[in-house]
Amino acid sequence: MAQTSTNPVIKSNLADFKVGVDNVIFSVDTQANRLLVLLVKRKDNPFLGSWSLPGTLVRIGESLEDAAYRILAERIRVNNLYLEQLYTFGTLGRDPRESHNSFGVRYLSVSYFALVRLEEAELITHDISTTAWHPVKKVPQLAFDHNQILEYGYQRLRNKLEYSPIAFEVLPEVFTLNDIYQLYSTILGENFADYSNFRARLLKMGILADTGAKVSRGAGRPASLYRFDAEAFAPLKDKPLVFI
């Protein structure tokens, strides 16, 4: 960072900021093949009554990450949740409080991203009029620039699905090859890849262990159940890989 000037005129040119954190928490309803995002209803101005990403302003003595985990803990109980920093949004006027504040304070948003397993993510409140999973395809107009932040998070999620084994964090412990394909289709869109190519590529990577068990669903032949083989994946972890 930056020259500190001893010239008070230049010093007073510096903008003052409050810093918010906003969390883009995705989950997947694997039954209904829907990608979900956690939204909360605002209880204060500005944007009173609007849906928004769960967020907060950073307090004195609090790190960015602390603030991100704090607001999450107020909304959701989940094991081993790992938040990843997404992007910092600082466009002028992104918060309506900026223009009305005579001190000229700006509001920055540092956004964080996570993908959680729906069954393991328990909402603190069961009042779905204030905290709820929304299908990403049907998200309403959100407060502030949160639709833009969500779009950015969605792009990050797609990239991670293409380049990392993040899908196995939301799949059940054992799954069929078709389950994985459905999950990818839910997030990346139908026809993101040919099924037999996708299946062949995944098997060739050697990161799926056949459990020996099979499952019958509908009229087709029983399908093999696999689990993610973390041990086989370990030596590949730092290698560039493509999963689709």
Please name the helix (run of DSSP H) or strand (run of DSSP E) that holds residue 186, with its range, or none.
helix 177-188
Per CB under 8 A, the segment of 178-186, 207-215, 219-227, 234-242 that binds a second copy is: 234-242
Handedness of CA 183, 234, 37, 226 (dihedral sign): positive
Q: Are 146 and 57 in contact (CB under 8 A)?
A: no
Q: Is 88 in the site for a second copy (CB under 8 A)?
A: yes
Interface mask toward a second copy for 133-172; x: CB under 8 A: ----------xx-----------------xx---------
Q: Are 106 and 17 in contact (CB under 8 A)?
A: yes
Per CB under 8 A, the segment of 25-33, 101-109, 166-174, 217-225 that binds a second copy is: 101-109
Q: From the list 33, 77, 82, 91, which residue makes contact with a second copy (rule: CB under 8 A)?
A: 91
The Cα–Cα gap between 107 and 16 comes to 9
Count of residues of this chain found to bind a second copy when the rule CB under 8 A is applied: 55
CB of 229 to a second copy, least distance (A): 21
Residues 183-222 that bind a second copy (CB under 8 A): none
DSSP, res 199 = H
The gap between the terminal CA atoms of the chain, to the nearest Å, is 40
Q: What is the rounded (10 degree) CA torsion for 83, 109, 151, 71? A: 40
CB of 168 to a second copy, least distance (A): 17
Q: Of 91 and 222, which has the nearer Cβ to a second copy?
A: 91
Q: Of 85 and 222, which has the nearer Cβ to a second copy?
A: 85
Q: Is 125 in the site for a second copy (CB under 8 A)?
A: no
The Cα–Cα gap between 156 and 23 comes to 13
Q: Are 188 and 161 in contact (CB under 8 A)?
A: yes
Q: Is 15 in the site for a second copy (CB under 8 A)?
A: yes
Q: Is 69 in the site for a second copy (CB under 8 A)?
A: no
The Cα–Cα gap between 234 and 229 comes to 9
Q: From the list 9, 31, 44, 231, which residue makes contact with a second copy (rule: CB under 8 A)?
A: 44
Backbone angles phi and psi of 62, in degrees to 5: -115, 135
Q: Is 228 in the site for a second copy (CB under 8 A)?
A: no
Q: Of 48 and 232, which has the nearer Cβ to a second copy?
A: 48
The Cα–Cα gap between 226 and 153 comes to 29
Per CB under 8 A, the segment of 15-23, 113-121, 129-137, 217-225 that binds a second copy is: 15-23
Q: State the pairing for strand pair 131-135/34-41.
A: antiparallel
Instruction: Write out the residues near a second copy by the rule CB under 8 A.
Output: 1-6, 13-22, 42-46, 52, 55-64, 85, 87-88, 90-92, 95, 97, 104, 106-110, 143-144, 162-163, 240-244
